[in-house]
């Protein structure tokens, strides 16, 4: 059996699935991406090169689609030159490219991964009124779904990582799409026993508390500015508090740069108030084992997001048994049940965040059961050992000629 995975990055959402199929099922797996060439744990990584794309003369609203077409064409030409690649199944990420051109090469079923369906209102785009989208950004959101809709129509089946993300898709297509999470590697993301409470530059003397925040980039979509306001007030109230902030000084999502001008969003936020950077420590990007150690030390982990793709960092923090205080937004509610797997506060409600965080920091031992429940949730429903078999069953069902999504139980992702 031969499965071809399509994603501009490697390993991304598919690498762990491919290696498992090779190792446990004896499948042949190929992975076409912009990286490579290489053979990684038995998976052949085939590189493709994009030779064109949108320019300033391309209409703003069609640039995403234009870039998708160039990526899709590069995939097609690269694989056309590889007649030895004859897959029994194609699995692609509908977003960076489309798999639809490959239907002209391969007479086999296709499964697509649907991560996010854009909307002009009631979405990430307009959730934060202090950072309003420009008119053409709202108009562009309609066009950003163009290639995804082509893949929705043409594939035999699909999947999305959460129910909330799946339910953003047009109702007429949802029956084709299952909710299956990417899977958390609990061998890495788990509570790490440690002899003391120190982590590199983070020194936590006896009686001190550790507050953590993790985001790939510091930006409004992940509530970095809200968090910093909360952290400042908590530092004022708790002289024994140390704050560890993990991430890079960049904007990954959204149009923050258009609102703040020259400096980075982090610099812009820090310029709005006086912050004690001897206690609010910016650690940069950490490797997974180091981040797992830090999250295991945390007395409280704060996570914020607008209605958008859920961050893996929330799932990793849950897996490490951290007590979570998160924004009360739709994607988060799928993971955090207040009083059971964590705590929730209104995204914009700094007072509520501070009040709940302060209660945890005063008596962290009284809230540790939330972290244990969260860790159990990940192990039972979102670990690789649970999610990869769900993906395998989807792949096998589609290869057997059974199209569409399987019925979703109350306990499924």
Tokens of 104: 């002209």
Mode of pairing for the β-strands spanning 241-248 and 209-217: parallel
pLDDT at 408 exceeding the cut of 70: no
Number of C-beta neighbours around residue 90 at 10 A:
25
CATH of the domain at 36: 3.40.50.2000
* Strands in 16-66 per DSSP E: 28-33, 38-40, 43-47
With b for 16 or more beta-carbon neighbours within 10 A and e for fewer, the 320-355 pattern comes to bbbbbbbbbbbbbeebbeeeebbbbbebbebebbbe
Which structural domain range is residue 372 located in? 198-381
Q: Is residue 413 part of a domain?
A: no
φ/ψ (deg, to 5) at 201 = -75, -10
Q: How many Å is the Cα radius of gyration of the chain?
A: 22
- What span, in angstroms and rounded, lies between the C-alpha atoms of 260 and 164? 31
Per-residue model confidence (pLDDT) at position 404: 66
- The band of 53, judged by pLDDT with boundaries at 50, 70 and 90, is very high
Q: Taking the model in full, what pTM does it have?
A: 0.93
The predicted model gives 192-215 an average pLDDT of: 86
Mode of pairing for the β-strands spanning 202-203 and 198-199: antiparallel
Q: Which of 220-229, 240-249, 256-265, 297-306 has the lowest mean pLDDT?
A: 256-265
Cis peptide leading into residue 291 (ω within 30°): no
pLDDT at 206 exceeding the cut of 90: no
Q: Are 163 and 225 found together in one domain?
A: no
- The band of 152, judged by pLDDT with boundaries at 50, 70 and 90, is very high
pLDDT at 221 exceeding the cut of 90: yes
Per-residue model confidence (pLDDT) at position 413: 41
φ/ψ (deg, to 5) at 110 = -125, 135
Q: Are 112 and 211 found together in one domain?
A: no
Q: Are 343 and 202 found together in one domain?
A: yes
How do residues 365-378 score in pLDDT, each as one tens digit?
999 999 999 999 99
How do residues 8-32 score in pLDDT, each as one tens digit?
999 999 999 999 999 999 999 999 9
Per-residue model confidence (pLDDT) at position 42: 97
Q: Are 218 and 346 found together in one domain?
A: yes
User: What angle, rounded to 10 degrees, do the helices at 135-143 and 63-80 form?
Assistant: 30
pLDDT at 410 exceeding the cut of 50: no
Number of C-beta neighbours around residue 91 at 10 A:
29
The predicted model gives 392-398 an average pLDDT of: 95
Classify 39 as helix, strand or coil. strand
Q: Is residue 408 part of a domain?
A: no
Q: Are 307 and 387 found together in one domain?
A: no
Residue whose pair of structure tokens reads 């909360």 in the numeric block: 230
Q: Is residue 324 part of a domain?
A: yes
CA 270 from centre of chain: 26
Cβ-based neighbours of 67, under 8 Å, separated by 6 or more: 53, 54
Give the DSSP H/E element, type plus range, for residue 398. helix 384-399
Q: Is residue 291 part of a domain?
A: yes
- Tell which wins on pLDDT, 411 or 223: 223
How do residues 279-293 score in pLDDT, each as one tens digit?
999 999 999 999 999
The predicted model gives 228-242 an average pLDDT of: 97
Decide if 177 contacts 164 (C-beta within 8 A). no
The predicted model gives 206-213 an average pLDDT of: 93
Tokens of 121: 């209102």
φ/ψ (deg, to 5) at 57 = -80, -15
How do residues 310-357 score in pLDDT, each as one tens digit?
999 999 999 999 999 999 999 999 999 999 999 999 999 999 999 999
Q: Are 83 and 206 found together in one domain?
A: no
Give the DSSP H/E element, type plus range, for residue 303. strand 300-303
CA 232 from centre of chain: 27
- The band of 412, judged by pLDDT with boundaries at 50, 70 and 90, is very low
Q: Which of 103-112, 150-159, 404-413 has the lowest mean pLDDT?
A: 404-413
Per-residue model confidence (pLDDT) at position 407: 62
Percent of the chain with pLDDT over 70: 97
> Minimal CA–CA distance to 162: which of 382, 399, 400, 393?
382
Q: Is residue 223 part of a domain?
A: yes
Mean pLDDT rounded to a whole number for the chain: 94
Dihedral through CA 13, CA 14, CA 20, CA 26, nearest 10?
170
Per-residue model confidence (pLDDT) at position 411: 42
The predicted model gives 62-87 an average pLDDT of: 97
Total of domains in the chain:
2
Distance (Å) of CA 40 to CA 4, 86, 102, 345, 387: 14, 20, 24, 43, 21
DSSP 8-state assignment for residue 53: -
Q: Is residue 143 part of a domain?
A: yes
Q: Are 151 and 283 found together in one domain?
A: no
Q: Are 217 and 94 found together in one domain?
A: no
Q: Are 270 and 338 found together in one domain?
A: yes
How do residues 167-186 score in pLDDT, each as one tens digit?
999 999 999 999 999 999 99
Q: Are 250 and 310 found together in one domain?
A: yes
The predicted model gives 103-110 an average pLDDT of: 97
Distance (Å) of CA 139 to CA 61, 62, 124, 145: 7, 10, 14, 11
Q: Is residue 409 part of a domain?
A: no
The predicted model gives 359-364 an average pLDDT of: 98
φ/ψ (deg, to 5) at 95 = 170, -60
Tokens of 346: 């209104």
Q: Are 165 and 215 found together in one domain?
A: no
Q: Is residue 296 part of a domain?
A: yes
Q: Are 319 and 260 found together in one domain?
A: yes
């Amino acid at each position: 059996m031969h499965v071809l995975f399509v994603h501009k990055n490697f390993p991304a959402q598919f690498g762990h699935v491919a290696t498992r199929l090779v190792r446990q099922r004896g499948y042949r797996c190929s992975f076409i991406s912009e990286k490579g060439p290489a053979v990684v744990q038995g998976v052949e990584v085939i590189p493709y090169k994009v030779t064109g794309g949108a320019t300033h003369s391309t209409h703003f609203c069609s640039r995403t689609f234009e870039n998708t077409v160039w990526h899709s064409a590069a995939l097609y030409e690269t694989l056309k030159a590889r007649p030895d690649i004859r897959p029994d199944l194609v699995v692609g990420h509908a977003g960076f490219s489309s798999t639809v051109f490959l239907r002209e090469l391969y007479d086999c079923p296709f499964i697509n991964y649907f991560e996010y369906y854009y909307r002009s209102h009631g979405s990430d785009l307009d959730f934060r009124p202090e950072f309003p989208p420009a008119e053409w950004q709202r108009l562009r959101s309609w066009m950003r779904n163009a290639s995804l809709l082509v893949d929705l129509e043409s594939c035999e089946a699909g999947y999305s990582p959460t129910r909330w993300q799946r339910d953003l898709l047009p109702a007429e297509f949802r029956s084709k799409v299952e909710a299956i999470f990417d899977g958390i590697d609990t061998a890495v993301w788990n509570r790490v026993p440690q002899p003391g409470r120190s982590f590199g530059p983070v020194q936590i003397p006896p009686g001190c508390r550790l507050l953590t925040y993790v985001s790939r980039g510091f930006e409004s979509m992940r509530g970095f500015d809200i968090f910093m306001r909360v952290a400042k007030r908590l530092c004022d109230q708790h002289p024994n508090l140390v704050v560890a902030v993990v991430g890079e000084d960049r904007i990954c999502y959204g149009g923050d740069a258009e609102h703040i001008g020259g400096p980075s969003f982090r610099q812009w936020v820090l310029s709005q108030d006086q912050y004690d950077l001897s206690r609010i420590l910016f650690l940069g990007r950490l490797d997974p084992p180091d981040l797992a150690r830090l999250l295991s030390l945390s007395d409280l982990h704060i996570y914020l997001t607008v209605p958008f793709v859920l961050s893996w960092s929330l799932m990793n923090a849950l897996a490490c048994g951290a007590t979570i205080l998160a924004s009360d937004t739709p994607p988060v509610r799928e993971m955090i049940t207040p009083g059971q797997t964590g705590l929730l506060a209104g995204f914009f409600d700094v007072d509520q965040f501070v009040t709940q965080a302060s209660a945890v920091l005063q008596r962290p031992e009284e809230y540790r059961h939330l972290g244990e429940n969260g860790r159990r949730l990940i192990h039972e429903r979102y670990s690789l050992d649970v999610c990869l078999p769900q993906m395998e069953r989807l792949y096998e069902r589609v290869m057997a000629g059974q199209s569409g999504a399987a019925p979703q139980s109350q306990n499924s992702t």
